[in-house]
A and B are shown apart, each in its own frame.
Chain A
Amino acid sequence: MEMTGAQLLVRLLEAQGVDTIAGIPGGAALPLYDALASAGTIRHVLARHEQGAGFIAQGIARASGKAAVCMSSSGPGATNLVTAIADAKLDSIPLVCITGQVPLPMIGTDAFQEVDTYGLSIPVTKHNYLVRDAEALPQVIDDAFRIAQSGRPGPVWVDIPKDVQLQRIRVGALPAPSSLDTPPEVDGEALLRAAQMINSAERPILYLGGGVIASGASHLAVTLAEQAGLPTTMTLMALGAMPIDHPLSVGMLGMHGARYTNYVLQESDLLICVGARFDDRAIGKASEFCPDAKIIHIDIDASEIHKIRFAHVGIQGDVAAVLERLLPHVQVQLRKKWLSRVSGLRAAHPLQMPALDDPRSHYGLVSAVAACLDDDAIITTDVGQHQMWVAQAYPFRRPRQWLTSGGLGTMGFGLPAAIGAALAEPKRKVVCFSGDGSLQMNIQEMATAADEGVDVKIILMNNQSLGLVHQQQDMFYGKRIFAADYKRQTDFVRIAEGFGLAAVDLDRSAHPRALLAEAISSKGPTLIHCSIDVNQKVFPMVPPGAANIEMIGG
């Protein structure tokens, strides 16, 4: 059959099972859009900014665990995507990003809307392509999806010049998509040494990272913890891997972890790190983290093992496969002594959540929202104080319940990611906690939410400030608050209504809890506004560069 490169691309995406693409068209992508239109098989979600499209795709990928697709034109369309793609790289999220490019003969001539997309995308992707011939598309698209989803997932960028999109080629039957790369063989000897270390440890800790979620290994991690009696801490990316109210959970570690969590880690003699990467926000000063612990490090990415801390046993492999093979060698232990020490530390230094009963306070609002939802709901956040309050106070109980920008910490993530999650999981309620700073980074996507009618609730914790910046200036820069507070009050309720959302204001309600419950249970996109005291802090806090046990507050 004869077809254009663009038509072939659509066929290839269909074959990959892609049912939704988020994007924005433009000159160099018009043949692609025309092919999407005439095929009519893939839902296109028209974002209002390409960064929004990138984060919508991320929301789809994070909620579903499968690669999602975003699309844009050349030049500014491509540069606008960069932040969302970089964010996916740092959090190991599988994406396939497709951009139009100026025709091949014009590349290198500073043509209209030409940028070096290939060069720009190298440092922010797992891999990238500039397609020079439509004949290469079947291989490139197959590789792109395979690479994005194999091993440690990540974004793959495919740049397609307009003449390649229009190139007519003969296409036979399309081959079925390749299966994912086989993960590396697990080193059985290292596995036995790891089991022996776990069996003989006195104060072991299980330290779970985002790799546990990516690998679908949460249930295995919980089984390991239960079998060996392991107190279990989670990184920001792993929240939900073990239910937060599981007796063995010691919550999130690191910069804004509870005091007891960081103290427990300090006393451990064995750290079993599974799918985590010793990120500085999680471990504080690396040399002083778990000073007395031997380390077992399990990760699919060999370059993570020994990268920050030497591992006494390093096991490269898919986390689920490794845990499955490890479990039979791990003895059942009650570990009464260590677990009672952990309970003692928890009782002495619990997470402090002041004003938890007031639904118009920072922790209280998070808790009041949680009370309106069950574990099926998906929670996204933006970046700032509100993100940390949600991480600390929301009862996460299942993997992929929690979507947040961890590695890049990108303000503007929350709303578009929530839209993507709602598109991928239309039966679930999706709630986005945001701050007034972050919301304004991708506020235009309210229009997309209204277009698509997604059931997304934005909880706007409005402190009229870049709260986390305000907090750092207050604490570490002599209270010199500069360029953090907003001078004018913005009327977010009217803005949301202008975009076609329903909107409620808890500030003006005599019964905020009831209003909140009603707004959350309604269908469709809604803004729920609540003012938050700008002087509230995220506590405890490990000062940047300090050891985790040097916490302030809380």
Chain B
Amino acid sequence: MGESTSADLQAQKKAVLELAVRNHPGVMTHVCGLFARRAFNVEGILCMPVGDGGESRIWLLVHDDERLSQMTLQAEKLEDVLSVRRHGADHAVFERLEAFFQ
């Protein structure tokens, strides 16, 4: 999804979104497409099935700008998105992954 091109963008405030979704082929495209279409940068993305595989959890690392609440509302409208929770950028999920990106 869009790359951050400038240092300013890197310095921007971030947030982590946690989406519970129905697990089927296509749901990632729906979620990623929504952000791309509305020209909203996604910095990091992580998706794994949970439980018996009927649901997945998607973690998104995004910029916390004034459009984020609109993006959250749009994501909630997707039929296969069951819930959206917003966390601070300090959420452990992406921090723990940093080791894999050294």
Task: Determine the residue in chain B with the shortest Cβ distance to A118.
Answer: B26
Contact A130:B26 (CB < 8 A) given known A122-B33, A302-B73, A303-B73: yes
B5 within 8 Å of A (CB atoms) = no
Q: Roughly how many angstroms separate A122 CA and B26 CA in the complex, as a whole number?
A: 9
Q: In the complex, what residues of A have CB within 8 A of residue B30's CB?
A: 122
Partner of B79, one of A118, A127, A301, A303: A127
Task: Determine the residue in chain A with the shortest Cβ distance to B33.
Answer: A122
Contact A303:B29 (CB < 8 A) given known A123-B37, A127-B79, A147-B79: no
CB-CB contacts below 8 Å: A92-131 with B: 118-119, 122-123, 126-128, 130
A337 within 8 Å of B (CB atoms) = no
Q: Are B29 and A119 in contact (CB under 8 A)?
A: yes
Q: In the complex, what residues of B have CB within 8 A of residue A128's CB?
A: 26
Q: In the complex, what residues of A have CB within 8 A of residue B29's CB?
A: 119, 122
Chain B 18-46 interface 0/1 with A at a Cβ cutoff of 8 Å (1 = within) = 00000001100110010001000000000
CB-CB contacts below 8 Å: A1-43 with B: none
Contact A303:B37 (CB < 8 A) given known A118-B26, A122-B30, A127-B79: no
B10 within 8 Å of A (CB atoms) = no
Chain B at the A interface: mostly helix, strand, loop or mixed? helix
Contact A303:B77 (CB < 8 A) given known A123-B33, A123-B37: yes
Q: In the complex, what residues of B have CB within 8 A of residue A303's CB?
A: 70, 73-74, 76-77
Chain A 122-158 interface 0/1 with B at a Cβ cutoff of 8 Å (1 = within) = 1100111010000000000001000100000000000
Q: In the complex, what residues of A have CB within 8 A of residue B70's CB?
A: 303, 306-307
Q: Roughly how many angstroms separate A143 CA and B29 CA in the complex, as a whole number?
A: 20
Q: How far is the CB of B84 from chain A (nearest CB, A)?
A: 12
Q: In the complex, what residues of A have CB within 8 A of residue B73's CB?
A: 302-303
Q: Roughly how many angstroms separate A417 CA and B69 CA in the complex, as a whole number?
A: 37
Task: Determine the residue in chain B with the shortest Cβ distance to A307.
Answer: B70
Q: Are B26 and A301 in contact (CB under 8 A)?
A: no
Q: How far is the CB of A120 from chain B (nearest CB, A)?
A: 11
Q: In the complex, what residues of B have CB within 8 A of residue A122's CB?
A: 29-30, 33
Task: Determine the residue in chain A with the shortest Cβ distance to B37.
Answer: A123
Q: In the complex, what residues of A have CB within 8 A of residue B26's CB?
A: 118, 128, 130
Q: Roughly how many angstroms separate A508 CA and B70 CA in the complex, as a whole number?
A: 56
Q: In the complex, what residues of A have CB within 8 A of residue B69's CB?
A: 306
Q: Roughly how many angstroms separate A262 CA and B29 CA in the complex, as a whole number?
A: 42
Q: In the complex, what residues of B have CB within 8 A of residue A306's CB?
A: 69-70
A-B contact pairs, 16 of them (CB 8 A): A118-B26, A122-B30, A122-B33, A123-B33, A123-B37, A127-B78, A127-B79, A130-B26, A302-B73, A302-B76, A303-B70, A303-B73, A303-B76, A303-B77, A306-B69, A307-B70
Those 10 A-B pairs whose CB atoms lie nearest each other, nearest first: A303-B73, A127-B79, A122-B33, A303-B74, A302-B73, A123-B37, A307-B70, A122-B30, A303-B77, A147-B79
A122-B33, A123-B33, A130-B26 are known; give 7 further A-B pairs, CB within 8 A: A118-B26, A119-B29, A122-B29, A127-B79, A303-B70, A303-B76, A306-B70
